[in-house]
Structure 1
């Protein structure tokens, strides 16, 4: 793998221009699986991430994708932790996750701002309290913030090495269902992006499936 040039982040005017740039830089079989293999996303998703400032790519072979992610360890009084067991995608496939609630950060957000948005977008539809602002029911546990960097191949984009900068918090959220498992419906994932035509061709999340598990079964 050639040395990345982190100061150089290519710009792409369309998903097609991104696809043309990626093809000679990624294994052909891996790139061909994007949006075809269950649980993967396609080049339209990646173009939207780049356009929204959520993702950057280094000008290297292969490129390295970098994203900032908030990861939330949602806890309740009895010590249980909320995990997302799976996602139902717009192409009908199911993406098995068994992960803490996580969300890509927007370029203008602080980690704390991203925490509130993540709870609102992922869990807001099932919170059973009347509030004017979702931030009123979210409490970040003092001293719980941690940051770590993890580099691995992306599950969503096979063959694309990804540098994840995780901003982790422990949080309490008032009004969540007490059922051992529950489901939330995703609002339009790319609503307001200004790229409706591209968004219609991207793979989006339609439903999230959650469950409460014992704290010792979840990696810190």
Structure 2
């Protein structure tokens, strides 16, 4: 069950177009304006240096969409990092729109396009731990119940330290069952949620167990991978 791991996309953009004011004379003329609709979109590339550090952010691009639906003169309105602004501007320049219309006639118009640069939880946890927590394992994994004795802990963090920030002061509690693999060095790998009594604690549980350390497990003198499931209780 732990042999396959899929890397998720590292960069996502919110494909929402905000219309401001039309260009030129249309700005002062009465009439119904129908906003442009993006018909071809390009996601920005997450800047490699920021991705390697697990940095997320956003950028907003201001651009003109001409009467043919082409993006003209994109510029960065604001960005949490300069690199995000540049990546978003490059991606935006390749977008194609169904042009805006006024009284049924195509017109040029100014738009704002926001981009979100998100990173998959799996990669963020790898960065946080400074090692590959999530990794494909292509060797046999021994269930813990097949061992002569249970895996021995060498470090157990305080789970309260991982209580989700967004749930603080809500009084919520949760019992979470997490299954994972102990590698030959005693580190936890590939945690996955088996069950949870209250939604919202899944990432906290995976982060918490990733900090657990076990003594290396050997079978017939060989270091082995062992699967184990444990319960975690979150409360305030």
Report 1 or 2 for greater relative contact order, CA contacts < 8 Å, sequence distance ≥ 6.
1
Compute the TM-score of the two structures, normalised by the length of structure 1. Answer: 0.20
Which structure: larger Rg?
2
Q: TM-score by structure 2 length?
A: 0.19
